[in-house]
Amino acid sequence: MLARIRRAAEAAGVQILDFEADPDHNRSVLTLAGDAEPLLSAVQRTMTVAVDTIDLTRHQGTHPRIGAVDVVPFVPLDDTPMEEAVALAHRLGAWAGTQLGLPVFFYEAAALHADRRNLADVRRGQFEGLAVRLGKHPPDVGPAAPHPLAGAVAIGARRPLIAFNVYLTTDDLAIARAVARAVRASSGGLPGVKALAMDTRRSRGQVQVSMNLVDYPTTPLPIVLERVRAESRARGTDVASTELVGLMPAQAVEDVMQHYIALQDFRWHRVLEAALREGDWDERG
């Protein structure tokens, strides 16, 4: 099935940047890059295959989700204005509502309602709670009832984020919950940090704090990791290992070099492999 989804994403002018499957989360992340029109077409074909092949009534996983295609974020790169990403999100939503029969929630910069800006709010009640929820509040576009097997979809536009998971050296889920609560912005933790405890005991024998760093210029990755470490140690446990979901911006590598190596002048094109692909030094300035 994952191979079919990947093939559906292949299109002229679209790059497959990354494709990962997490068995605990029971969730795959596909990262595509391209110009607006080929990108929209590749996403449409991918969504069509996912809706045709994934049955959410039989799906279990530790990560919250509302549909076979849980979420589609458009991220403007380089000089692309956010408005273009918002316009693509709205075009994709209109298509998904009419062609796939999916209720669509627009979130973050693409949100039409203030209480749907935050993806965590959009996911509340998950797939299983959709019918009741849609009965009270209609979606932004698409039918007012969930697709029977594929649920609904959140479509958004946002800046890049870092999806970063930390495993703790404990199987005590209450500790992961307490650490997540201590670091996340919504309960008074670090600005731009979203955090959830995940039960990854079956596969790892350890619990996980799963995070999105949505404002890593304000709260860089090393600050988040060291706070998680301190909060874990205060509860008698520690950081076991970490993992990255999807891709990390070069800014995060620079932040790590600055924080741990005290390397003042590091920029990512100081990496040989990057410099070889970046063109001449004097054009980089």
If one asks whether residue 2 binds a copy of itself (CB under 8 A), the answer comes out as no
Cα→Cα distances 148→56, 88, 102, 131, 137, Å = 8, 26, 9, 10, 18
Quick one: 199 exposed, middle or buried, by C-beta within 10 A (0-12, 13-18, 19+)?
A: middle
Least Å distance between CB 230 and a copy of itself? Answer: 15
- Residue 38 lies near a copy of itself (rule: CB under 8 A): no
CB crowding 221-252: b at 16 or more within 10 Å, else e: bebbbebbbebbeebebebbeeeebbbbbeeb
CB of 19 to a copy of itself, least distance (A): 5
User: Measured in Å, how far apart are the chain's first and last C-alpha atoms?
Assistant: 46
Q: Are 46 and 92 in contact (CB under 8 A)?
A: no
Rounded Cα distance between 85 and 109, Å, is: 9
Task: Using the minimum distance from each CB to a copy of itself, give the nearer residue, 4 or 270.
Answer: 270
User: Is position 90 annotated as part of the catalytic site?
Assistant: no
Q: Which is nearer to a copy of itself, 56 or 239 (CB)?
A: 239
Given candidates 119, 153, 193, 248, which one binds a copy of itself under the rule CB under 8 A? 248
19 contacts a copy of itself (rule: CB under 8 A): yes
Question: Binding to a copy of itself by residue 163, rule CB under 8 A?
Answer: no
234, two tokens = 């205060």
Minimum distance, C-beta of residue 132 to a copy of itself, in the bound complex (Å): 38
Selecting among 25, 59, 63, 259, the annotated active-site residue is: 63
Neighbours of 44 (CB within 10 A): 17
Q: Among 36-44, 174-182, 187-195, 260-268, which window interacts with a copy of itself (CB under 8 A)?
A: 260-268
Summarize as ranges the residues that interact with a copy of itself (CB under 8 A).
6, 15-19, 31, 33, 77, 160, 221-222, 225, 239-244, 247-250, 252-253, 256-257, 260-266, 268, 270-282
